[in-house]
Amino acid sequence: MLQLRGLTPEQLEGPAVTGEQCRHQLQLSLLPQPLQTGIHDDGAGALLLVGVELLVAQPIEKFLRIQIQLGGDLTELVKFLPVPFLQHLHQVLHQTVIQRHGDTIVVQNPPMPMLDTETFDWVYELPYERAYHPSYEALGGVPGIEEVRFSITHNRGCFGGCNFCALAFHQGRMVTSRSIESVVREAELLTQDPKFKGYIHDVGGPSANFRHTSCAQQKRRGMCKGRSCLAPEPCRNLDADHSEYTALLQRLRRVDGVKKVFVRSGIRYDYLLQDKNQDFFRELVDYHISGQLKVAPEHCVASVLDYMGKPHFDVFERFWRQYQKLNEKEGKQQYLVPYLMSSHPGCTLEDSVRLAEFLHRTGHQPQQVQDFYPTPGTLSTCMYYTGIDPRDMTPVYVARDPHEKALQRALLQWKRPELRGLVIEALEKAGRTDLIGYTPECLIRPQKGEKYFGKQPEQQPSGEKRRPGQHGGEGNLRREMHHGGRSEHRGGKRPDVSRRNGGSASGQKGKMSPAKKAAFAKKRKK
């Protein structure tokens, strides 16, 4: 640690202090020249710049954290520093938030400038070991590496604007990307790995299909304040273009030793729909889905989605149907897996019931559900702790009680037997006991000894059974979600009911009519 002890301007003109004279053996040779000229020995062996914490970054490996503590005001320190150091200090502290708490001055530095493509390429092409540290071998290794061992990061940053996500603070809202050549070189490097089987698991990032800035104005003016690029409606200046990302995936498919290239980190479907050229969407369905495509509608209630900063649910439904049509056209049977979130600020128990009803109607049973938790710096976290939407200062309902959060989460996984008690409690509190019964709309059925809820099942004609999703046309939605729009039976065709039952479609026993028999024989000959 460097200490500053009552130096006069005359003393600051002396020689720079050496690393041995400083605590923690700090090597001043690693400092940029402006800092070297600003640090001097006071005769007591050390200098301490106290009250401001600076992260000084030089190209490549030169990083140094200088801790500054000052008993008085920051201006009292500044007047003792030489001009070169002040110039560097001004550059680092530009637009910095400085707030004093007693003897401590808290400083929030501005984010690091975005990397240009050349620097981005250089960072990702350093000679990494591409493995966890050998010390983990004794512990059985790190299982999580298998998810990323053969994945490639091609972009950084996200202009999606989700209010619950801190990624924009870590990587910025402005998207930057590696060059296609750099990504291809990494793919070629993967093929040399003995464990590589020919499958690149992901070519993505925060959002896989972001490849450039959201609009041309960003390059000149930076990101817009108080506005989102995509939600609740896409900005009219949005540049939705997947041509470069499509070209990247095409290049990767042609690399020797690569059999398949998948996109598994998820895409922004609302951004995809804004692209008038559907080449990427078609190629995505044809080549880059490993059975499941992951997207993140998060919820189905408009008010909750507004608090989340997500597009309304009709956008997801429109994407869903286009995805279904493309799968039908290509003869593929691929799933659509939505990410969902419970107990986000603004989400009530009644809202969770509505989401559970949607999942039930479409036949989707989520294996994983994200329960909202606050992350530093996000808008949703501000709502969580204050109960206020800072955008308009209106009150927001927040589920903070762990038990209520458990109830909301249980509703989204109502099929699990171990959650049955929580689901019943949630439905009772929400006043929706009509969803406990025997009708197709009900989430769960009463068990023996339980209080009866719901309506009696309708009496069905003899030999007929109601199929799940038969009511309200929801069977089609079920098949779209689970099978990309194909029939739930293999090959896209329903089995012959008369053959299965040994009789007519009504379930009555008997032989085929002569006309049906002749038609069936003719079909088999073809």
Q: pLDDT per residue over 361-378, tens digit each?
A: 988 888 889 999 998 889
Mean pLDDT across 227-250: 93
Whether cis (ω within 30° of 0) applies to the bond prior to 446 is: no
Q: How far, in Å, CA of 35 to CA of 460, rounded?
A: 85
Q: For residues 236 and 165, state if they share a domain.
A: yes
Q: How far, in Å, CA of 72 to CA of 69, rounded?
A: 9
Q: For residues 233 and 360, state if they share a domain.
A: yes
Whether pLDDT at 165 is above 80: yes
Give the domain-ending residue among 350, 380, 395: 395
**Best CA proximity match to 342, nearest among 284, 405, 392, 287:** 405
pLDDT at residue 168 in the model: 83
CB 262 within 8 A of CB 202: yes
pLDDT at residue 223 in the model: 84
Amino acid occupying residue 40: H
- C-alpha distances (whole Å) from 293 to each of 136, 165, 289 are 33, 21, 6
Residue 255: pLDDT band by 50, 70, 90 thresholds?
very high
Q: Residue 448 domain-assigned?
A: no
Q: For residues 63 and 151, state if they share a domain.
A: no
pLDDT at residue 250 in the model: 97
Which residue has better confidence, 521 or 232?
A: 232
Q: Residue 23 domain-assigned?
A: yes
pLDDT at residue 525 in the model: 57
Four-residue CA torsion sign, 208, 212, 215, 218:
positive
Q: Residue 418 domain-assigned?
A: no
Whether pLDDT at 499 is above 90: no
Residues β-bridged to residue 341: 370
pLDDT at residue 2 in the model: 32
**Best CA proximity match to 206, nearest among 159, 164, 158, 263:** 158
pLDDT at residue 465 in the model: 39
Q: For residues 201 and 319, state if they share a domain.
A: yes
pLDDT at residue 386 in the model: 95
Q: For residues 174 and 96, state if they share a domain.
A: no
Residue 521: pLDDT band by 50, 70, 90 thresholds?
low
Q: For residues 237 and 258, state if they share a domain.
A: yes
54-58, 353-357, 401-405: least confidently modelled range: 54-58
Whether pLDDT at 520 is above 90: no
pLDDT at residue 289 in the model: 94
Which residue has better confidence, 27 or 129?
A: 129
Mean pLDDT across 151-166: 93
Q: How far, in Å, CA of 387 to CA of 450, rounded?
A: 38
Mean pLDDT across 251-256: 97
Q: How far, in Å, CA of 487 to CA of 467, rounded?
A: 13
- C-alpha distances (whole Å) from 460 to each of 360, 361, 456, 465, 466 are 22, 21, 12, 7, 8
Q: Residue 306 domain-assigned?
A: yes
pLDDT at residue 77 in the model: 44
- Per cent of the chain over pLDDT 90 is 50
Q: For residues 171 and 280, state if they share a domain.
A: yes
Average per-residue pLDDT in the chain?
75
Q: Residue 361 domain-assigned?
A: yes
Owning domain of residue 244:
117-125+147-327+340-395
Q: For residues 77 and 152, state if they share a domain.
A: no
pLDDT at residue 147 in the model: 85
pLDDT in tens, 268-299: 999 999 999 999 999 999 999 988 898 999 99
Q: For residues 121 and 95, state if they share a domain.
A: no
Whether pLDDT at 443 is above 50: yes
Residue located via tokens 């390429």: 121
Residue 20: pLDDT band by 50, 70, 90 thresholds?
very low
Q: Residue 520 domain-assigned?
A: no
Phi, psi for 224 (deg, rounded to 5): -70, 145
Give the domain-ending residue among 356, 377, 395: 395
Q: For residues 71 and 153, state if they share a domain.
A: no
Q: Residue 443 domain-assigned?
A: no
pLDDT at residue 35 in the model: 43
**What per-residue string of b and e applies to 215-229 under the rule 16 or more CB within 10 Å gives b?**
beebeeeebbeeebb
pLDDT at residue 454 in the model: 52
Q: For residues 87 and 121, state if they share a domain.
A: no
List, as one string, the DSSP characters of 309-344.
T---HHHHHHHHHHHHHHHHHHT---EEEEEEEES-
Which residue has better confidence, 298 or 57?
A: 298
Mean pLDDT across 443-472: 55
Residue located via tokens 């490097």: 189
Residue 12: pLDDT band by 50, 70, 90 thresholds?
very low
Q: Give the count of domains, the chain.
A: 2
Q: Residue 207 domain-assigned?
A: yes
- Per cent of the chain over pLDDT 70 is 66
For 65, the token pair is 């954290």
Give the domain-ending residue among 395, 411, 441: 395
pLDDT at residue 100 in the model: 76
Bridging pattern class, strands 50-57 and 63-69:
antiparallel
Q: For residues 170 and 24, state if they share a domain.
A: no
pLDDT at residue 216 in the model: 87
Residue 59: pLDDT band by 50, 70, 90 thresholds?
very low
Residue 232: pLDDT band by 50, 70, 90 thresholds?
confident
